[in-house]
Amino acid sequence: MSQDQFRVDSKIAIVTGAASGIGKATVEVLCERGATVVASDRDEATLNKVVAEFQAQGLKVSATVCDMSDPESVRNLVSSTKKAHGSVDIGVNCAGITGPLGKKAHEVDLADFDLTISINLRGAYVFSQELFKVMVPNKWGRIMHIASMAGKDGNPNMSPYNASKAGLIGIVKGMGKEYADTGVTINAIAPAVIRTNMIADQPDEVLKYTVSKIPMGRVGEPEEVAHTIAYACSPACSFTTGFVFDASGGRTVY
> Would you please indicate which residues are annotated as catalytic (active-site) residues?
161
Directed axis angle between helix 110-117 and helix 159-178, to 10°?
Answer: 30
Do 196 and 21 touch, CB atoms closer than 8 A?
yes
CA–CA distances in Å: residue 183 to residues 124, 186, 210, 239: 20, 10, 37, 10
**If residue 64 lies in a helix (H) or strand (E), which one and from where to where?**
strand 61-65
Partners of residue 143 on adjacent β-strands: 91, 186
DSSP label at residue 105: G
Query: What is d(CA 35, CA 16) in angstroms, rounded to the nearest whole number?
Result: 15
CA–CA distances in Å: residue 81 to residues 39, 63, 97, 131, 187: 10, 10, 24, 11, 21
* Furthest C-alpha separation in the chain: 54
Do 120 and 96 touch, CB atoms closer than 8 A?
yes
